Amino acid sequence: MRGIRRALAVRVISVISTETGLGKSFCMNSDEKTITGAQCRAARALLDWSREDLAAASKVSRAAIADFEQAKRQVRERTVDDLQAALESAGIAFIPGGAEGAGVRLKDPQA
């Protein structure tokens, strides 16, 4: 049941974040290559990673990850870059926002 709730929550948050732009507004000096908090949460869900797993892979504190994902405070651009790099190294591909909105998917293992 928790997995279903998590998947639904990620989808709802992703739609809200995409439509309102909330995710980007909480990253200093963001640009089109910057991920949102909703994308970070969705990527962790695809990998079945906890915040602790992401913290270990990215060398970013769990508190900073939580704050970024929940849009509680601004985080440094370098922090977001470190999170994105760790998730991409683990097999995540980020889909930039456009007409259909931003997204997250697993990279093709054949590529």
Identify whether the C-beta of residue 39 lies closer than 8 Å to the C-beta of residue 14. Answer: yes
Residue closest to 8 by CA, chosen among 42, 52, 44: 42
- Provide the CATH topology of domain 2-91: 434 Repressor (Amino-terminal Domain) (1.10.260)
- What pLDDT, in 10s, does the model give residues 27-53? 333 344 689 999 999 999 999 999 999
Q: Does the structure show a pLDDT above 90 at 4? A: no
What's the mean pLDDT in 44-72? 97
Q: Does the structure show a pLDDT above 70 at 7? A: no
Q: Does the structure show a pLDDT above 70 at 87? A: yes
Distance CA 28, CA 82 (A): 14
CA distances from 21 to 4, 56, 57, 68 (A): 25, 28, 27, 14
Domain boundary assignment for the chain: 2-91
